[in-house]
Amino acid sequence: MFRQSFRYGALAVAALLIALPAAAQDVGLVEKKVFAMPSYTTAGGKTIRDVKVGWESYGTLNANRDNVIVVPHFFSGNSHAAGKYKAEDAAPGYWNAIIGPGKPIDTGKYFVISVDSLANLNTKDPNTTTTGPASIDPATGKPYGMSFPIVTMRDFVNVQKALLDSLGVRKVHAAVGASMGALQSIEWASAYPDFVERLVPVIGGAEASAWVIGRLHLWADPILMDPNWNKGDYYGKTEPTAGLAVALKLVTLDAQHWAWADKAFGRKWADAAKDPAASFENKYQIQQVLDTSGAARARASDANSFLYLVKANHLFVAGHMGSLEEGLAKIKAKTLFLPAKGDLLLVPGYAQQAAEILKKQGKSAEVVEIAGDRGHLDGLFAIGSVGEPLRRFLDN
């Protein structure tokens, strides 16, 4: 019966992963907006002038202005969480599976908002607006480069809070984010405990462990070793795209799982006529795919911004209070952690650790694992599989 109902494996996987009600709909076409601040003072005490960040929203803000769900984005992402800009766009926003009318994050009930981070990686994407090292410093008329102030998850959240304040938002029903978005969501709940009612960190923990610091250090190294990086002074010159491409290859592979690689590529050659044993120029298929994707992503990205995001992740500990326990102690929100069972980067144990600390502090915290074979990326591609626990948590 099962085989007759799902004759094609892809359809079976899609049905299992998405698992959404029949009434669910897409949010449709969306608009990227820009929020501007005359100045912003960082957590480190440095002032940035003329701050601009992009943002998107889905659903309608209610009369009480308290039905808001904030969705901070992941390391290499932006605020395009759902919908399309144009009908002919190749793909919708990254969490389109769970954001929309009738979906777990139901835009018939909630006003969902996502904001491009400071130092966003995608500086050459016309649908991303950010202020970071590639931006023009009003004091000099030149790009900041590495003179841009160090920014943290607290800074990302504070800029988002300023946007919500400008909209008259009185309460955040939930902060829900994946990966670096999970870190920002936790920071939301710790920095503004009386403002955030629910917290859903997806594929993320409450501090950057030594393992994570080490992995991200390796991500940054290819950029620093590229002679074209020139200590961050490359704007208007040859950019360190070779180093950035290698960095993005590392990000891509670290975010996946070995089971995915074996299933998708195995030991296939990139070219059936070119045996890798015959020449160093001949590659396996996975090598070719990583090379191609890394180069393509590098063309839309900024190397200095990559380094600033690595630094922001390195510095993260909930609440930036000095200790994990102190930062989590400030949280009042009910919390649902959604780690990916096969995550090899931000392993499920990090979420379990944070949940246990919260419970010992007398807080409400639960953990539901996401199953799949995409590793860290199951938090994006398999998010529909935990749609119902997410829906119940948000609607309870």
Q: Are residues 32 and 179 in the same domain?
A: yes
Q: Which of 264, 299, 334 is the last residue of a domain?
A: 299
What angle is formed at CA 340 by the lines to CA 335 and CA 346, rounded to 5 degrees?
Answer: 85
Q: Which of 299, 326, 355 is the last residue of a domain?
A: 299
pLDDT by residue (tens digit) across 163-199? 999 999 999 999 999 999 999 999 999 999 999 999 9
Q: Which domain holds residue 267?
A: 218-299
Structure confidence at residue 1 (pLDDT): 34
pLDDT digits (tens, 9 = 90+) for 80-119: 999 999 999 999 999 999 999 999 999 999 999 999 999 9
| Catalytic residue (choose from 79, 135, 179, 190) | 179
- Pair (173, 113) in one structural domain: yes
The string of pLDDT tens digits covering residues 51-84 is: 999 999 999 999 999 999 999 999 999 999 999 9
pLDDT-derived band at 16, boundaries 50, 70, 90: very low
Letter for the amino acid at 100?
A: G
CATH number at residue 345: 3.40.50.1820
Residues 265 and 356 in one domain: no
The last residue of one of the domains, among 242, 270, 299, is 299
Residue 137 lies in a domain: yes
Average pLDDT rounded to a whole number, residues 253-270? 98
Sign of the Cα torsion 146, 147, 148, 152 reads positive
Residue 10 falls inside a structural domain? no
Q: How confident is the model at residue 13 (pLDDT cuts 50, 70, 90)?
A: very low
From residue 289, give the alpha-carbon distance in Å to each of 207, 253, 306: 32, 11, 21
Could you read off the pLDDT of 365-378 as tens digits, one per residue? 999 999 999 999 99
Same domain, 72 and 175: yes
Look up tokens 């908002």; give the residue. Answer: 113
One domain, residues 238 and 384: no
Residues 230, 370 within the same domain: no
What local confidence, expressed as pLDDT, does residue 23 receive? 65
Give the model's pLDDT for residue 15.
Answer: 37
What's the whole-number average pLDDT of the chain?
95
Residue 46's pLDDT is 98
> DSSP character for 149?
P
Give me the number of domains the chain comprises.
2
* Residue of 226, 305, 376, 385 with catalytic role: 376
pLDDT at 279 over 80: yes
Both 162 and 256 in one domain: the answer is no
pTM: 0.93
Same domain, 91 and 36: yes
Candidates 106, 343, 373, 378; catalytic one: 343
Catalytic annotation present for 185: no
Examine the pLDDT at 333 and tell me if it is beyond 60.
yes
Cα torsion through 361, 73, 153, 161, rounded to 10: -90
Q: Please check whether residues 152 and 108 belong to one and the same domain.
A: yes
Name the phi and psi angles at 193, rounded to 5.
-65, -30
pLDDT at residue 196 in the model: 99
Q: What is the pLDDT of residue 8?
A: 31
304 located within any domain: no
Residue 308 lies in a domain: no
Check: CB of residue 223 under 8 Å from CB of residue 229: yes
343 counts as catalytic: yes
Residue 22 confidence class, pLDDT cut points 50, 70, 90: very low
Distance CA 196, CA 203 (A): 20
* pLDDT-above-90 percentage for the chain: 93
Euclidean distance between CA atoms 205 and 197, whole angstroms: 19
Number of alpha helices (DSSP H) and beta strands (DSSP E) in the chain: 13, 12
- Cα 21 to the chain's mean position, in Å? 26
Q: 10 pLDDT exceeds 60?
A: no
Band the pLDDT of 4: cuts 50, 70, 90. Answer: very low
| Cβ partners under 8 Å of residue 331, min gap 6 | 186, 189, 190, 193, 199, 318, 319, 358, 363
Clarify whether 376 is annotated catalytic.
yes
